[in-house]
Amino acid sequence: MLSEIYVGWKNFTFPNPQIENEAKRRIAICVDCDRLRKNKTCALCGCYMPAKVRSPKSRCKLKKW
């Protein structure tokens, strides 16, 4: 899990076009979720979603992506 967090933050800091396409798809799902807080963290897992959606191995705990 720590490696997933690292990869997500790396891809957030240094965008990759391939990763960005998937991140846009994922974050669109998160925006419609009632668990997304105003500070862009998930109320279920506590992750900062702009970084988590950029980690290819990470998954939504609600299985939305």
Look up tokens 């109320």; give the residue.
43
How many residues comprise the chain?
65
> What residue segments make up the domains of the chain, in order of their start?
2-52
Which residue, among 4, 7, 52, 57, has the nearest Cα to 29 in the 3D structure?
A: 52
Name beta bridge partners: 41: 48
Q: What is the pLDDT of residues 21-57, one digit of tens each?
A: 999 999 999 999 999 999 999 999 999 999 999 999 9
Say if residues 56 and 22 touch (Cβ distance below 8 Å). Answer: yes
Q: What is the pLDDT of residues 11-29, one digit of tens each?
A: 999 999 999 999 999 999 9
